Structure 1
């Protein structure tokens, strides 16, 4: 019997250095794991490549970049140049064409323990061809720097929702379109078209786009953990709390999500008691039903603050933090893949 979950050994090719004349190493790239609080766009390039940036590695905040080949199950450390973002955790990223967008995160690292500076609100774009970073100068209003927010790409637009900064939890929605770089780069604050209440302020939630809607699930405001599901229609600019049926997931934050067809898969997170979770659930958009799964093979261990991305019908889970201090979630050289083409009981 073929199980949906599989554990795959991670290959580690030598790092890729900048410049044609740069001396190329023959030693393997260091494993990117264990790591949590990193960013990973929820979709891959046409070549099936994912880009993992930053996060926390054994108490050290990083700003390294890895390219993950989903075909070879290989992670290669990439050298980049230009205005490289500072080390950060709890940021988020998106992919449009050959550009990686990174925004937000907690940059108050151990090297600046007593700093009172605000969170970095810089918008960083990486040209994946030249591997040069650029910090974009934006005009007009912009979202406050934050961490624990969620982002999603809808068309060419990079949407940011919620997050937290210095104990303040947010529920604002912003969009940046890289096409605006042709004139004056600017953010757009997306105000709902009606006075209808939208989602409560939160952090540690997920956002996934499908069609003309953004689907948001879970999160916490520091006091309350949520398991609500909302949709934002970018055409009508209205939030709607969905009346879901089926096996509604328990409240959580720090989970991750990815989409295959019209099914959003959610794994892990932290529950109300602070313990990491290890359940896989799925939300089918067309019937607004939640599904749960059990006994599907070598599943990932319990974790939070990991990342997920889909490539074709496969979903990849990278990194994460366990509930046990000092305990890694998995072998650093092993990753988990969910094959949704295997029978998952979603009609």
Structure 2
């Protein structure tokens, strides 16, 4: 049962601080201490305290030299001493890595001095500080050009900094939050330079190990939000996302159950805001200042004393019930509530926020055009009542999610029946279907194609119309609903259907399918920046066996492929990973409640989980499985982000300039194209140089083996071909025409 809490606005009495953002704030349970920030005119280095009992604000006139004016500094309190580290003056200004101590008993500042030979963390802002016992820990942040994911520890007694070396840290970020719970630091969200995040990690202060948390429920990605710890829960408020949408929601993360719950709160609720601060005093969470379109100096509090609802296995299907081997991925069948869709194949599934939508397909009686929704937070299925131009019943259609809508293309009624090339949009907010009439030449009628979303365009590849298999690629631009044919450049895949396609960074990856004669096991990459196809032949590890009507999701730089069927109609329930950076395949050892061997199902990735829905294992199914994914690449989170813009990095750019953003984006794409073409050119150059000396062009054919791998000088120095070891009988020098 969800409990309602009550927000209260606290009247400002006493010395009122200027409305601001980027301030820092801590509590010693008697006072709330506030330092610095920016009021939009200048940076501040003033310090105020709020008396919890009298509710009176007081401006402090301290002793000793204070830190220089700044925003984005972070603070932690240990034994009546508040430690302040870092911050900045403005986006292209000065960043700091100085450390100041403020004694709350005598209101005295002191700068902690370090020798040139002493280790000190690099300059940064929007990092986090957390205390544990008598130490405090610094994580991540930003210095105007680089985002960090390092972790440092400061010992106040020894006055020394030390960097902690860890494996598999979270990806680089700033504007996240961090709290201490027992012997762990818990971090949430932030901005990685390309996307706002909603991942949750723990760092063990004792083992110095990171662990990404498996969770249920949902919270929107965000940064520059606030978070506090109370009892066994982390409470998250506000923040802003990539599109600059600010939040006013209060979300509880139950640490024991790893479950998010959006809380209902009454009373005088704070406005949607970001770059504010929060702290806990007694049972209350205090929110101070921030930006809601204007800078604020208001104060709100909410009593969190109500007990958090306990989740059992029915409401929290991903809860861990027993220990499993660390290298064993564990499947779990979700025991949901509500009325689900009928058992079927050929349906399509999309995920929007914390909900999964399932449309159409074929059950034991007919083709369907019904729409069902699974709510991850309530673990409940329901049928969606829709209006408007509802698509006709069909199977094999493909959908993609974009914002609060999803788009549906193609499908068919039966093998010798009607095939479609229509495009529909469903608005989840209004519940209305709209048939879209687009300009340009649409893809021909088809089913079992793939549809992916990249840069506000839907890309359709491959498919089948009952007679012909396709390998064309077309895109529909959603800003004007225009179909565009993409150039056929590079090593294009064979015509096929029943394949999979996913997007990672600026490429689409296509695996497997059926070409009319054989099931396939090939893997192709299509670059959206250069519009070139590449076949990924030189891969490590063992590929999955040939298959079609399997499923594939992308997670943290890897493709995960499950199930499918081969030419002999053998069905699979194996799980394979392809690491994109290392170009390496690996078979994943799985346990738990493994799904049956199946095909014609669907799969989705949400946070660090892969969901499997329905399909055919000898009979049609409507079950739901989940597995927590792990990647073999321990350095995956330290990869460079492919950001196309830093316009949202700091508070000075809240409004942004649309023209500037578009120019930045186009500049980035051009640089990416240049980088990729240079890389391909280097590969081509190496391909044409002697495989022995690597310095001269290949210009000889060796007889009788006919290998074309050496320059004339190297060929004359050898008696045997170093490829096949056969005797060199004759050398034929070749020439190229200009």
* TM-score bracket for the superposition, by shorter chain length: 0.7 to 0.9
Which of 362, 367, 373 aligns to 1:119? It is: 367
Of 533, 555, 569, 1:290 maps to: 533
CA distance in 2, matches of 1:303, 1:343: 20
Hey, what's the Cα distance between the residues in 1 that align with 2:345 and 2:447?
14
Specify the alignment match of 1:336 in structure 2.
576
Supply the distance in 2 between the matched residues of 1:298 and 1:310 (Cα, whole angstroms).
19
| Residue in structure 2 matching 1:301, options 537, 545, 556 | 545
Q: Give the direction of change, closer, same or farther, for the CA distance of 1:277–1:238 in structure 2 (3 Å limit).
A: same
In structure 2, distance between residues paired with 1:328 and 1:178: 35
Unaligned runs of 5+ in 1: 1-44, 51-65, 113-117
1:243 is matched with 487
1:241 CA displacement: 0.8
Counterpart for residue 400 of structure 2: 152
Matched-pair contact (CA < 8 Å) for 1:48–1:311? no
Match of 1:189 among 435, 445, 463: 435
| Closer, same or farther: CA 49–282 of 1 in aligned 2, 3 Å | farther
1:112-163 alpha-carbon deviations (Å, 9 max, x no partner): 4xxxxx5221110111111111111112220012111111112221111000
Separation (CA, whole Å) in 1 of partners of 2:468 and 2:571: 27
The Cα of 1:179 is off from its aligned counterpart by 1.7
What is the aligned partner in structure 2 of residue 5 from structure 1? Answer: none
Give the drift of 1:343.
Answer: 5.1
Cα distance in 2 for partners of 1:279, 1:253 equals 13
Name which of 207, 211, 223 aligns with 2:467: 223
Write the mapping of 1:87-98 to structure 2, written as runs, cut at 5 A. Answer: 87-98=343-354
Tell me, yes or no, if the aligned pair for 1:257 and 1:307 is still in contact at 8 Å: no
CA distance in 2, matches of 1:163, 1:237: 19
Match of 2:454 in 1: 210
* Structure 2 residue 508 is the aligned partner of structure 1 residue 260: no
C-alpha change, 1:135 and 1:229, in structure 2 (3 Å) is same
Report the 3-state secondary structure (helix = DSSP H, G, I; strand = E; otherwise coil) of the residue aligned with 1:121: strand
* Cα offset, 1:295, TM superposition: 4.1
Output the CA distance in 1 between the equivalents of 2:543 and 2:429: 40
- Counterpart pick for 2:337 among 78, 81, 100: 81
User: Alpha-carbon deviations, 1:208-263, whole Å to 9, x = none?
Assistant: 00111011100010111100000100001100010131100000000011111011
Residue 290 to residue 91, structure 1, CA distance change in 2 (3 Å): same
- In the alignment, the residues of structure 2 paired with residue 73 and residue 81 of structure 1 have an alpha-carbon distance, to the nearest angstrom, of 25
Q: 1:48 to 1:177 in 2, by over 3 A?
A: farther
- Contact 1:277-1:304 at 8 Å conserved across structures: yes
1:243-293 Cα offsets, whole Å, 9 max, x none, are 1311000000000111110111110000032x2111001111111111102
Q: 1:48: Cα distance to partner?
A: 7.3
**Are 2:375 and 1:131 aligned?**
no
TM-score (norm 2): 0.35
User: Does the 8 A contact of 2:563 with 2:571 survive in 1?
Assistant: no
Partner residue of 2:129?
Answer: none
Q: For this pair of structures, how many residues does the alignment match?
A: 267
TM-score for both structures, normalised by structure 1? 0.72
Distance of 1:147 and 1:339 partners within structure 2 = 32
CA–CA separation in structure 2 for the residues paired with 1:126 and 1:147: 20
Paired residue for 2:524? Answer: 281
Q: 1:232 aligns with which of 459, 476, 479?
A: 476
* Separation of aligned partners in 2, 1:221 and 1:295: 32
Whether contact under 8 Å (2:497, 2:513) holds in the other structure is: yes
Cα distance in 2 for partners of 1:262, 1:154 equals: 17
1:102 pairs, out of 342, 350, 358, with: 358
C-alpha distance in structure 2 between counterparts of 1:121 and 1:249, whole Å: 32
Q: Greater RCO between the two (CA within 8 Å, min separation 6)?
A: 1
Matches within 5 A, 1:141-180: 141-166=389-414, 167-180=417-430
Matched, 1:200 2:456: no
- The structure carrying a bigger helix percent of its residues is 2
CA displacement 1:280-323 (0-9 Å, x = unmatched): 01111111111102242211110000111111211110111111
4+ long deviations beyond 2 Å:
45-50, 71-74
Residue 41 of structure 1 is matched in structure 2 by none
Q: Which secondary structure state, in structure 2, belongs to the residue aligned with residue 319 of structure 1? A: strand
- Judged with a 3 Å threshold, the aligned counterparts in structure 2 of structure 1 residues 162 and 229 are, in CA distance, closer, same or farther, namely same
> Which residue of 542, 553, 557 corresponds with 1:313?
557
| C-alpha separation in 2, matches of 1:210 and 1:219 | 19
Q: CA deviation at 1:72?
A: 6.4
User: If you compute each CA radius of gyration, which structure gives the higher value, 1 or 2?
Assistant: 2
Residue 189 of structure 1: how far off its partner (Å): 1.0
